[in-house]
Structure 1
Amino acid sequence: MRLFIPVFFIIYSLVHYYAYRKLCQAFEPVRVQRLFVLTLFALTTLSPAIWRFLDRNGETELSRPLAFFSLFWMGFIIYFFLIGILIDLYRKFHSPGPREAFFLTLFLTLLVSAYSHAETYFLQVERYVIETPKLPKGVEIKIMNASDLHLGPVMREDKIEMVRKVYERERPDILVATGDTVDGNMRDSEELAEMLSSINPPLGKFAVVGNHEYYAGLEQSLSFLERAGFKVLRGEIIEVKGLLNLAGVDDPDGEKLGYRVFTDEVEVLKGADTSRYTILLKHRPEVKREAIPHLDLVIAGHTHGGVLFFVGYTVLRLIYETDRGIKELAPGKFIVVSKGVGTGGPPMRLLSPPDVVIVTLRGLSQ
């Protein structure tokens, strides 16, 4: 985290500088105008740190509108940079002037930004059926994963309402949240906790800690999850109605921030009764090979499908087991990864829409 913050602001500053240079090439502003634009860009570059500081210190009336503007701007300026690079390559073979190129970049950026925000509301339901001899024949257990809600200054009631509608339609037996449910100061967000607490599946609600729970402050994140009705699994395994083993571990980022974390899935699972179907909840879709003999299913989130589809299909699939969907880890053992409901940065997605995952376990044994 200590390395990420300065690297982020260096890259973010360079993205702004690129936009500033494009603006100057197109309009050739005088010195006072250049200084004004540079000052605005400096403020927008620093705005993520400003609203995070305000939010952490309880100034929610200021942090919410500032976060909304800051995150939308972040998405816009990143798209402007990416599209601008493509237009620059196009100009090597054709010759539109700098002003025409600027307006083309601006138009495409506005178009893509508008679509990307709209896509955050295109919630998908991804369904998977797994048959297992570890459950009696005729028994079905439906598990719903509402991962990465990122509740905070920007992601609020609308995201919970999306989840609630799916829950009422699907009626799962278990609801899980595989991290990053919290992404802001939730001390005064009783209405959000009450909305989540009204969802009561018959076999329970379970959550694990993601990296953003640490960023937002672990104590208040855990308090919110408990008020919302979740049993938070931190390096522990429990039995669910004699049918399942359900284990959960923390995200490892907490250790970098000085928290005591419970991340050793092998240690958690090795004492499990493997005659029962065993599920591991964790935030990141990575699995220690030594843990696979002790589990049957891993449910995870974190990736958001890369947010930009090409990031998910390339970079993230090199880092994690997969960026979305289901993958077989070993014969009869699977990992299922959600792209999440919310977004941890700009409220934008490109061809990587949000989802909730429904896994139905179907018994085969006589």
Structure 2
Amino acid sequence: MKWFILAFLSIYLLMNLYVYLRLRHRAILPVLALGFFSPFLMRYADANFSPSLSYIIGLGTLLYMGFLLYLIISFLLLDLYSLFVRAMHSIFGINPLPRPSKKLSIVIALSLALSLSAYSYYETLKPEVYHFHIKTDKVSQRIRIMHISDVHLGPVMGMDKIKLIKEVYEKYKPDLLVSTGDLVDGNMKRKDGLAQALREMSPPLGKFAVLGNHEYYRGVQQAIEFTESAGFVLLRGSWVDLGSIIVVGVDDDDCRFFNACVGPLSEYEILKDLPKDKFILVLKHKPRVDKRALGLFDLMLAGHTHGGVYYPVGKFIIPRLFDANAGWVELGKGSVLFVSKGVGTGGPPMRFFEPPDMAIIDIQ
């Protein structure tokens, strides 16, 4: 974990340094310095300041980080454009395309970064709701499941995300509500209102959750206390029999870095001893399926990936790290996986063609 933090800070420092070298103006130094140290301020504010003040600091920090990334991408795109123009001139002896001056390049890069940041923030505000149907003879009457993941409640993600969840809950009236990790991503000691808002949703078959990696990063015990106070039953290497459906849950494997694992981390170790005549629902944060478990469960719900957050990442990188980037995947042997893009964001509140989502699954 320490190495991860060190790597993040090193990369973040280089990003700020790169922008300074591109702009080369002393007036920008205080902004870049504040931007670099703002994550530390955000963590301190989350633990010590009022929720409203920590929200302002947190939102400013995360928006800056997202804007910084887009600004660097914009500069790199302009560099590629200039390289193409020079290549055209070198190869064909012509220069049909204009080459912007340094000042104009800066204006273009800033404008592009601002536009992308504004759009990406807007995309986080409107989650998609997927509705799936599973036909099975293992249940005698319809069971409606509502799946949420990666809400990331903390200094920035708050009541606005819970309101979106409640709107879907009240519209579809599920029998069962499940959360597949990263519900918590901050100091929850002064966030009783959020727990109460979640507690107001009380489906007939209950609410169940598993822990994600961010719950461990921000203090697993306070995350557990908040999740349970919100009305969720945590499944940690355990299962519950709801009649015709059994719900299984395992801890996120990042628990190993904190010596905080409970129960087996592989779903197979639980599933191999469960009855085969009931519908088996598995809750897991990361979409990594133990191949030995195929055929032993009907549906696995997961999250974590956020669809890559940015479309190119989700399209080309995430599928190489996990069993799926996002969406509905037929795994074989009668087992199905659905991976949510999440309700919230774990970093900058920005998405690029990877909108947030929730899912309704009807089993009948």
**Aligned to 2:44, what secondary structure does the other structure show?**
helix
**Post-superposition shift, 1:270?**
1.8
CA drift of 1:75 comes to 0.6
Alpha-carbon distance in structure 1 between the residues aligned to 2:302 and 2:333:
19
Letter in 1 for 2:28: V
SS in 2 for 1:110: helix
Partner of 1:147: 149
Partner of 2:259: 258
Q: Contact 1:244 / 1:276 at 8 angstroms: preserved in 2?
A: yes
Gaps of 5+ in 2: 86-97
Aligned to 2:336: 334
In the alignment, which of 76, 82, 105 is matched to residue 101 of structure 1? 105
Alpha-carbon RMSD? 1.5
What secondary structure sits across from 2:295 in the alignment?
helix
Deviations 1:147-200 (A, max 9, x none): 111001100000000000011111111100100000001111111001000011
Amino acid across the alignment from 1:330: G
The residue number in structure 1 matching 2:22 is: 22
Whether the 8 Å contact between 2:195 and 2:230 is mirrored in structure 1 is yes
What's the offset of the Cα at 1:69?
A: 0.7
Q: Among 91, 97, 102, which residue is 2:82 paired with?
A: 91
Greater mean alpha carbon deviation, residues 73-82 or residues 254-263: 254-263
Per the TM alignment, residue 58 of structure 1 is displaced from its structure 2 partner at its CA by 6.4
Structure 1, residues 226-272: CA drift from partner, whole Å, max 9, x if none?
111000101001101x1111000011112112323431322222211
Per the TM alignment, residue 135 of structure 1 is displaced from its structure 2 partner at its CA by 2.0
Check the 8 A contact 2:295/2:334 in 1, yes or no. no
Work out which of the residue numbers 224, 227, 231 in structure 1 matches 2:229.
Answer: 227
For this pair of structures, how many residues does the alignment match?
Answer: 350
Q: Deviations over 1:47-103 (max 9, x none)?
A: 213322342456646533211110010010011111211111112215211110110
Residue equivalent to 1:44: 35
CA distance in 2, matches of 1:231, 1:58: 30
- Residue 43 of structure 1: how far off its partner (Å): 2.7
1:5 matched to 2:5? The reply is yes
Name the % identity: 43
Other-structure match for 2:249: 248
Q: Which moved more, 1:44-53 or 1:327-336?
A: 44-53
Per the normalisation by structure 1, the TM-score is 0.92
Aligned pair 1:78/2:64, yes or no? no
- The amino acid of 2:7's aligned partner reads V
Whether the 8 Å CA contact 1:243–1:276 is kept in 2: the answer is: yes
AA in 2 matched with 1:23: L
Q: Distance in 2 between matches of 1:163 and 1:192?
A: 12
- Native 8 Å contact 1:280 1:299 kept in 2: yes
CA distances 1:107-131 after superposition (whole Å, capped 9, x unpaired): 1111111111111111110111111
Corresponding residue SS for 2:118: helix
SS at match of 1:144: strand
Distance in 2 (alpha carbons) for counterparts of 1:52 and 1:226? 24
Cα distance between partner residues in 1 of 2:276 and 2:40: 47
CA distance in 2, matches of 1:264, 1:52: 33
TM-score by length of 2: 0.93
Given the superposition, is the C-alpha separation of residues 331 and 258 from structure 1 closer, same or farther in structure 2, using an over 3 Å criterion? closer
**Code of the aligned partner of 1:68:** L
State the 1:39 CA deviation. Answer: 4.0
Q: Which runs of 5+ in 1 are unaligned?
A: none
Deviates more, 1:43-52 or 1:144-153: 43-52
**1-side partners of 2:221 and 2:201: how far apart?**
23
Is 242-251 or 84-93 further displaced after alignment?
84-93
Specify which of 207, 210, 213 is matched with residue 208 of structure 1: 210
